[in-house]
Amino acid sequence: MATMNMIQALNSGMDTMLTRDPNVLVFGEDVGYFGGVFRATDGLQKKHGMTRCFDTPIGEGGIVAVAIGMGAYGLRPVVEIQFADYIYPAFDQIVSEAARLRYRSAGDFFAPMTVRTPYGGGIFGGQTHSQSPEALFTHVAGLKTVIPATPYDAKGLLISAIEDDDPVIFLEPKRIYNGPFDGHHDRPVSPWSKYPASDVPDGYYTVPLGKAAIHRQGADVTVLAYGTMLHVALAAAQDSGIDAEVIDLRTLVPLDLETVVQSVEKTGRCVIVHEATRTSGFGAELAALVQENCFFHLEAPIERVAGWDTPYPHAFEWQYFPGPARVAEAMRRAMGA
């Protein structure tokens, strides 16, 4: 067991799998010699060699295309897209090839690949370094979409993703790489070392895909969140004094609907929080599922707190970012206050 931030936990997960499985490869832009722009692959090339961890040209479509071919021939590639904002050139390969390979080959081939990419805002990255495109991937049959919120989950979920026989989009909330961020941008950020979730086993372990985690038990309202928004939701519950049950979805596809339904049936209220733009965001799917499964238990309309339907504005970072004040207000509306 060691105390790790999320970057170190992800590095440990890749290191563990490179050591454990000779078919695992890590590649992408600047991930080899340099160790990645966020240092998530630091030291992996030196330890495992240039054929196991290597740099690629700046061409996201080619990176993913090569990974698909490798997967079809039995390897387990882990590729990094430097920022989620630059995953779009690879979107056709992900959607038309990786996600469809098992179906179109009648099970003869599949794409056991993991696409890692930092996503989300809160770092003044502006419109081209702050996007949250998770809903685009949840819409595609054949893909799994995973978003960790703690170092412990980051490593365990990444190992599960690498071992999975289907393509996994692994979105890493970069705002919490070095410490949990509660949305209070005017306060000092606490390091992960102060939180139990930074205690990460050194070796192999997994966190199963498709299983949510309840981070705060409560009776008044259910708050559904993932990634950075988990910590914002926890802060909102504390600031507001509302007895909220806060759930970290961890994986959007597959979704742990059972945990969601049990919670909403208990509380009778639901607030959904995500940083992505509101229209057609994954929160819309969550709201539909909660309405379909919990209609007779709901005591108030379902609330959504999300980013604006605009590009991520550099000058209005903290107005766009769904902070604890906005989340707390939604919780109060759900409570009829």
Residues β-bridged to residue 199: 3
Known active-site residue 129: yes
State the alpha helices, DSSP H only, in the chain. Answer: 6-20, 44-48, 60-72, 91-92, 101-104, 134-138, 151-163, 228-240, 257-267, 282-294, 317-320, 324-334
Q: Cα–Cα distance between 325 and 337 in angstroms, integer?
A: 15
Catalytic residue among 48, 129, 215, 274: 129
- What is the pairing mode between strands 114-119 and 144-146? unpaired
CA angle (161, 233, 230) in 5-degree steps: 10
CB atoms near residue 195 (< 10 Å): 17
Active site residue ranges: 129
